[in-house]
Amino acid sequence: MQQSDRAGLLFALTGFVLLSVGDVIVKGISDEWTPTALGAFRYCLGAAVLSALLLAKEGTAPFLNVPKPGVQALRGLGVGVATLTFFGSVWLMPLADAVAITFTQPMITAILASVFLGEKLRPSTVVATVVAFIGVLIVLRPNFAEIGWAALLPVVCAFGMATLMTANRAARGAGSALAAQVYVAIGASVVLVIGAAIGDASGVQGAEWYWPEWHVLARTAVVAFTATTAHWLIFKGTQRAGAATVAPMTYVQILVAASLAWIFFGEAPDAIAMGGASLIIGAGLWLWYLGRKRDILAEH
Report pLDDT for 37. 94
Report pLDDT for 232. 84
- Sign of the torsion formed by the C-alpha atoms of 46, 47, 49 and 50: positive
pTM of the model: 0.88
Instruction: Tell me whether residue 168 is in a domain.
Output: yes
Instruction: Tell me whether residue 183 is in a domain.
Output: no
Instruction: Tell me whether residue 118 is in a domain.
Output: yes
Instruction: Tell me whether residue 258 is in a domain.
Output: no
Per-residue model confidence as pLDDT tens digits over 125-142: 888 888 989 999 898 887
Structural domains in the chain (count)? 1
CA–CA dist 94, 272 (Å, integer) = 13
Instruction: Tell me whether residue 111 is in a domain.
Output: yes
Give me the mean pLDDT over the 232-238 stretch. 80
Per-residue model confidence as pLDDT tens digits over 99-135: 999 989 888 888 888 888 888 888 888 888 889 899 9
Instruction: Tell me whether residue 241 is in a domain.
Output: no
CA–CA dist 133, 151 (Å, integer) = 14
Instruction: Tell me whether residue 31 is in a domain.
Output: no
Q: What are the start-end ranges of the E strands in 23-63?
A: none
Instruction: Tell me whether residue 215 is in a domain.
Output: no
Boundaries of domain holding 290: 68-174+270-300
Q: Are 195 and 42 in contact (CB under 8 A)?
A: no
Q: Is the pLDDT of residue 1 over 60?
A: no
Average pLDDT score, the chain? 87
For residue 24, give every residue at least 6 positions away whose Cβ sits within 8 Å of its Cβ, in sequence order, or none.
95, 257, 260, 261, 264
Provide the pLDDT confidence category of residue 214 given band limits of 50, 70 and 90.
very high
Give me the mean pLDDT over the 272-290 stretch. 86
* Residue 206 per-residue DSSP state: T
